[in-house]
Amino acid sequence: MKELSVVGKSTKRVDTSAKATGEALFTADLSLPRMLVAKVKRSPHAHARILRVDTSGAERLPGVRAVVTSGDSTGEKWGVFRYTQDQAFLPSDKVRFIGEEVAAVAAVDEDTAAAALDLITVEYEELPAVFTIDEAMKPGAVLIHEHNPGNINVHVKIDVGDVGKGFAASYYVREDTFSAPEESYFQTEPYAVVAQFDNSGNLDIWMPNAGPHLKAKPLSNLLKMPLNKVRVRKITIGGAFGGRSEISPADVICALLARKARQPVKITYTREENSIATRQAHSMTTTIKTGVDREGRVLSRDITCHMDGGAYSSTGPIATSVPFLCMEQAYRMENVRYNGYRVFTNKPIRGMFRTHGRAFACGIDLQLDLIGSELGIDPVTMRLRNARQAGDYTPTRSLVPSCGMTETIEKTAEQAGWKEKWGKLPPFHGIGIGCNSVQTGFPMGIRGGSTAFIKFNEDGGATVISGVVDNGQGNENMIVQIAAEELGLLPEDIQIITADTEVTPSDPGSYSMCETFIGGNAVRLAAIDAKEKLFQVAARALEAKPGELTARDRRIFVKGEPERSIPVGRVIRMALSKGQSIAGEGSYWPKVDPRREWVENPFGQLSETFSFGTTMVEVKVDPETGLVDVLEAWASQDVGFALNPKVIEGQFEGGFTMGGQGGMLTEYHLWDGGRLLNPAQLEYRLPLAPDMPKINSIIVESNDPTGPYGAKEAGMSVAMSAAQAYVSAICNAIGAPIKEYPITPDKIVKALEEKKKKA
Amino acid sequence: MRLPLFQCLSPRSTKEALEILDRYKGRVKIIAGGTDIINRLRQRLLSPQYAMTLKGVSDLRGIKRKKGHFLISAATTLREIVESPDIAGFAAAIAESAGLVAAPPIRNVATVGGNLLQNTRCLYYNQSELVRKAAPPCLKQGGKSCAALKGGTRCFSVYQGDLAPSLIAFDARVVLKKAGLARTIPVLDLFSRNGRHPLTIGDDEILTDIIVPIPKGAYGSSYQKLRLRSGLEYPLVSSSVFLSLSKEGVIDRARVVVGAVGPAPTVVEGAAAFLVGKRPAEADVEKAAESAFSASRPIDNLALPGSYRRKMVKVFTKRAIEGALLSLRKAGA
Amino acid sequence: MEKHRVTLRVNGEAYDLLTYPHRTLLEVLREDLHLTGAKESCGEGACGSCTVLLDGAPVRSCLLLAIEAEGREITTIEGLAAGGKLHPLQEAFVEHHAIQCGFCTPGMILTAKALLDATPEPTEEEIRRALSGNICRCTGYAKIVDAVKAASAGGRKSG
């Protein structure tokens, strides 16, 4: 690879100055002329038939400009997949969770909108409701959706090899059950939507999203408008973490109100609405039976997982599969059976969450510790013996083209001082390890590819046009670094237009961890395309062959002869003077198996490549209180290639904090039937600065053969491996397994009491 | 979300404030720091016609050293308490309590009076209407039965103020004024022990001052708080202990006060028996902490189970007694 | 319901406003003065996204009525950069990758500014404690602490 001048460096991000000054505009910051404020009327019942909605009182209130109910929508049901279309926004038949949208109002100010909501009367006929997986699956339980017997939404069934034979041949077999309630995203920016129609019937709409193109198509369907009239606009976004990829009722409601009122409309969600009426993570119970040989190599695994999906399908088939798929990527397992069930309950809707199933991942990993303990093998060795290797095929038949898993384990163990610490720490001190893997995208049919365009200014600057979206992780900066590198320009020469469905071509979005691999590759290819055209023109000027040229620091020059050079700007003007415009175009479509389907055919190449990571954590437990002091952490991931090391460290640190510190110590939801008792930050405890340990980031590079510059995915596996490391470390510290998460202090105290009783 | 509509009055003196309370009795709520009441307004737990802000009342702030006691005016901020060398020096547990409230930006405006007079809390009560209106009103909302202990007829909402246990441990008193009348009562008597109406202050009274007696001789104190993180949280359980030594070096007074287990801070009368009359080294910390455990019956209405919180009453009381003993030793006793 | 006339001094300038008393300082800053740097994230004073400086001290603007802020000096994030030049903290946050999605950033920077104004060379523990009331979901706080250290007197001395 040529020596890189921009990529691979921790350059300052292009978007952060505006955030530091407060200039960056998030959706709720937008102010349009004559803009109205909207509020949504929500169901107070977890399960009820809607008998009558009377909006007359609201419509008569001075200052109210529009009211919408089910009658204003097309009644079409939406679903991520054709076979999961089960949600009508503003339903007419029944409501299925407390907080479901029933009507909405747009008024001149928030006080009027709130007063108008109180004037809308809805008559319900309450129905029995189910709030747990057990209740939902009980024979005779009320059906939330008529076509889903037993309230089973999705059943993913994977059976590879011969699981029974594997167990029979195993030296040691054990079965454990793990569980965890749901977590929530708590993106710092609460959901908001602004919608405006112009007098040609074009819709401009802004909302935090993990893929504007993923929003535009459903909007086009649900509003019965052609795609070119639905313009999801670029906006600064305050976090996604796996959410915000799906169309939301708020999006459609805001557009309907704007259309009806003929004025722009803004909806801002309260924190409670963000927790109740967007998405949450799934609560889960996972039973894992694993058989190993004498050396601790897994011969057979049988996993059954029930997850509580809430009232609608959402990304059901994906959510039911990914927890398993991450683990089948991370570890070798020849014989494996997986039965994943997503079950409907009358609770808020569950979606994809950054830590894909803490009970699942922590279960697999803690079990490796427990097995190792029985066999006299330490946790690191257990991981090394089962680690995925490059060139392997996963059980569901994805080739793993590059894999630094072993390297992440070894490097982390070395930096953490594992050998010196394992088994040698003082009482109630522990050290633990977690390993995981992440896909770089999923098969997404016609939306699975990314395209980028590049245009030039006559003075040598360029603009990249790409559908890549930035939720805060640094994707915009990645585009600039890649384009600057290939074109031989400086980052400040590159402008970007991104994530705007009128202007930017389709891109799969950020939520499937594919922006670097797919979006980044598209930008790189577009830049290479432009560069080839530039080199054709420059070659004539420099009296050289295009193949002899290279570009750097705003000049194109002959390799090895820097004096034979020409500024990029001059090349562009030379081309223009000959009636030739220079522009770049590039597309990247990942080589995945288009026949792979989550439920019908869960086999074949899932994503073109995978990232792998290991986290280690050292903890101190106060045995009297059960409170955990996290002393230090080491987080590593094989990212393929670090496009911007500091940006990647930021992903490690953030993922560690969310998946580990929050996910394993303090984050969980409390319920009273279908009522969420901790929807906001006082009672849903997010990690704070004084509680975080020193996090040592270890970037491993396996140089993926097809990733841009060898890059794959920037750190998502750390959210999961951190969760696993916390469990491993805490159980090591107290000498007892804990299988219910998060590990709140009462669980530690209980585990220690039980351990004492057994002794 | 917007606050409910109300009219706001901004007195410039305590006298003016008292006149307003008298004129609008029952229809006006006081905003001191605002860090408790603004949230409850936003959640529509109350919707007064008038609000009266004390932020312009300059004669309600200040810590004054008087003969034998401190006079802390009620609108003194928690930050001022934390930064006061006097309070840190003479009433450690009170300074500790103040310093453990929430986070620095909250302490910049939160007042001692407001912290003391905060309403009781419960997972089932402190919710926005989106959550509350999806169930029948609980006892504290004026309904028929408790939502936390289904069917219960007593309100177990929790008093989670950090300052009160330490003020009580120091036998502090409060001055309550209304137009033409002032009364002084022990801090403990501010609490009715009834979760539905947890405070005994009248709706036409203002708490103007807190009197903290400066104990004579050698003494020590400590406040210990259970919270899951290093900030932002109300106590899940707390314990404040005051111990003083006679001239003979024997514990002659012990106050053990447990917080956040029920609608009012609890003075653990039984604990004193294991501490008073003993030399510090012979204090039966274990049994004193055990009696705090016995005196506490938290239920499952906060983030962690009542059974765990009850166990922690013992642990944190033990730590508070040990903390008080340590601070006794540091005082040169 | 009557509106109150109130003069707010924000970033050194006086604004005469007419507002209903139930509006918070956060709402008035964002909606009337279009200073959208302060944000609503939690609605209960728990997250710090709404932080402004009141006479130099960080406070939750979502817990203050606008009319209560009369007579005080209010500083928002928009008031930090002087004549187009970023405040050292803003520079440091950008330089040290302490900003990801940016939603908590204005509140975080203002709280850090108040810390450095009072304690020019804070220890790491003091920095973390000062920021204990500011929630960030993206960064895990690591680079935020680095940035504050770098912007502190000690950080700037050692370059």
All domains in chain B, ordered by first residue: 1-54 (3.30.43.10), 61-117+158-213 (3.30.465.10), 218-330 (3.30.390.50)
Share of chain A above pLDDT 70, in %: 100
In terms of C-beta distances under 8 Å and separation of at least 24 residues, what long-range contacts does A562-570 make, across chains too? A566/A538, A566/A541, A566/A542, A567/A460, A568/A460, A568/A487, A568/A488, A568/A489, A568/A534, A569/A458, A569/A459, A569/A460, A570/A460, A570/A541
Q: What is the CATH number of the domain that holds C46?
A: 3.10.20.30
- Residue among C40, C95, C140 minimizing CB distance to A653: C140
Q: Has residue C112 been placed in a domain? A: yes
Tens digit of each residue's pLDDT (9 = 90 or more) over A74-130: 989 999 999 999 999 999 999 999 999 999 999 999 999 999 999 999 999 999 999
Does C92 lie in the same domain as C64?
Answer: no
Residues A503-508, mean pLDDT to the nearest whole number: 96
Mean pLDDT of chain A: 97
**Are B103 and C48 within 8 A, CB to CB?**
yes
Tens digit of each residue's pLDDT (9 = 90 or more) over C34-55: 999 999 999 999 999 999 999 9
Domains: count for chain C: 2
Q: What is the DSSP letter of A447?
A: G
Angstrom CA distances, A212 to A74, A240, C108, stand at 22, 13, 29
- Identify from B131, B150, B313 which residue to disrupt to test chain A contact, counting A C-beta atoms within 10 A and taking the largest count: B131
Q: Does domain A355-441+606-758 have CATH number 3.40.50.300?
A: no
- Identify from B29, B35, B130 which residue to disrupt to test chain C contact, counting C C-beta atoms within 10 A and taking the largest count: B35
- Using DSSP's 3-state secondary structure scheme, residue B136 falls into coil
Does C122 contact B at CB distance below 8 Å?
no
Does B151 contact A at CB distance below 8 Å?
no
pLDDT band at A2 (very low <50, low <70, confident <90, very high): low
Nearest residue in chain C measured CA to CA from B108: C59
Q: Out of C79, C112, C127, pick the residue that ends a domain.
A: C79
**How far apart, in whole angstroms, are the C-alpha atoms of residue A232 and residue A214?**
10
To the nearest whole Å, the CA of B146 is away from the closest chain A CA by 12
So what's the pLDDT on residue A511? 82
Q: Out of C44, C79, C114, pick the residue that ends a domain.
A: C79
Tens digit of each residue's pLDDT (9 = 90 or more) over C53-111: 999 999 999 999 999 999 999 999 999 998 889 999 999 999 999 999 999 999 999 99
**How far apart, in whole angstroms, are the C-alpha atoms of residue B90 and residue B219?**
9
Q: At what angle do helices A379-386 and A405-416 cross, to 10 degrees?
A: 160
To the nearest whole Å, the CA of C7 is away from the closest chain A CA by 22
**Are A678 and B303 within 8 A, CB to CB?**
yes
Count CB-CB contacts under 10 A for residue B311: 21
pLDDT band at B332 (very low <50, low <70, confident <90, very high): low
pLDDT band at A332 (very low <50, low <70, confident <90, very high): very high
**Are A692 and C142 within 8 A, CB to CB?**
yes
Tens digit of each residue's pLDDT (9 = 90 or more) over B99-123: 999 999 999 999 999 999 999 999 9
- Name C13's Cβ contacts closer than 8 Å, sequence gap at least 6: none
Tens digit of each residue's pLDDT (9 = 90 or more) over A432-446: 999 999 999 888 889
**Nearest partner of C132 among B106, A617, A726, judged by Cα:** B106
**How far apart, in whole angstroms, are the C-alpha atoms of residue B226 and residue B112?**
20
Share of chain A above pLDDT 90, in %: 98
Tens digit of each residue's pLDDT (9 = 90 or more) over A158-184: 999 999 999 999 999 999 999 999 999
So what's the pLDDT on residue A343? 98
Does C119 contact A at CB distance below 8 Å?
no
Does C71 lie in the same domain as C93?
Answer: no
Does C98 lie in the same domain as C61?
Answer: no
**A35 pLDDT higher than 60:** yes
Estimate to the nearest angstrom the gap between the alpha carbon of C152 and the chain centroid: 17
Residue linked to tokens 């089910």: A70
pLDDT band at C159 (very low <50, low <70, confident <90, very high): low
Does C57 contact B at CB distance below 8 Å?
yes
**Are C132 and B232 within 8 A, CB to CB?**
yes
Does C2 contact B at CB distance below 8 Å?
yes
Q: Out of C79, C114, C140, pick the residue that ends a domain.
A: C79
**How far apart, in whole angstroms, are the C-alpha atoms of residue B29 and residue B203?**
8
To the nearest whole Å, the CA of B229 is away from the closest chain A CA by 7
Tell me the H-state helices in A556-616.
568-577
If contacts are CB pairs under 8 Å, which of residues 50-79 in chain C contact chain A? 76-78
**C157 pLDDT higher than 80:** no
**How far apart, in whole angstroms, are the C-alpha atoms of residue A345 and residue A284?**
13
Does C73 lie in the same domain as C12?
Answer: yes
The one-letter code for the residue type at B125 is Y
Q: Has residue C159 been placed in a domain? A: no
Does C145 contact A at CB distance below 8 Å?
yes
Residues A269-297, mean pLDDT to the nearest whole number: 98
Query: What is the pTM (predicted TM-score) of this model?
Result: 0.98
Tens digit of each residue's pLDDT (9 = 90 or more) over A518-536: 999 999 999 999 999 999 9
Each domain of chain A, given as residue ranges in start order, spans 16-23+444-588, 31-127+188-239+244-276, 355-441+606-758
Nearest residue in chain C measured CA to CA from B229: C132
CATH of the domain spanning A31-127+188-239+244-276:
3.90.1170.50
Does B46 contact A at CB distance below 8 Å?
no
**C158 pLDDT higher than 80:** no
The one-letter code for the residue type at A660 is G
Mean pLDDT of chain B: 97
**How far apart, in whole angstroms, are the C-alpha atoms of residue B218 and residue B241?**
14
Contact list in A for residue C135 (CB cut-off 8 A) is 188, 681, 686, 688
Please give the angle made by the CA atoms of B275, B280 and B282, to the nearest 5 degrees. Answer: 75
- Residue among A13, A15, A686 minimizing CB distance to C135: A686
Please give the angle made by the CA atoms of A52, A57 and A63, to the nearest 5 degrees. Answer: 135
**Are A677 and B311 within 8 A, CB to CB?**
no
Domain that holds residue C137: 88-154
Q: Does the fold of domain A355-441+606-758 match that of domain A16-23+444-588?
A: yes
**Are A685 and B228 within 8 A, CB to CB?**
yes
So what's the pLDDT on residue B265? 98
**B333 pLDDT higher than 60:** no
Tens digit of each residue's pLDDT (9 = 90 or more) over B266-320: 999 999 999 999 999 999 999 999 999 999 999 999 999 999 999 999 999 999 9
So what's the pLDDT on residue A287? 98
**Are B103 and C67 within 8 A, CB to CB?**
no
**Are A21 and C47 within 8 A, CB to CB?**
no
Tens digit of each residue's pLDDT (9 = 90 or more) over B128-145: 999 999 999 999 999 999
**Residue C156 or residue A200, greater confidence:** A200
Does C41 contact B at CB distance below 8 Å?
no
**How far apart, in whole angstroms, are the C-alpha atoms of residue A237 and residue A472?**
7
**Nearest partner of C153 among C111, C125, C115, judged by Cα:** C115
Chains with ≥3 CB–CB distances under 8 Å to C: A, B
Does C35 contact A at CB distance below 8 Å?
yes
- Note the CATH architecture for domain A16-23+444-588: 2-Layer Sandwich (3.30)
Does C85 contact A at CB distance below 8 Å?
no
The one-letter code for the residue type at A477 is N
Residues B79-99, mean pLDDT to the nearest whole number: 97
**Are B315 and A624 within 8 A, CB to CB?**
yes
- Residue B254 main-chain phi, psi, to 5 deg: -135, 125
So what's the pLDDT on residue C85? 94
**Are B103 and C132 within 8 A, CB to CB?**
yes
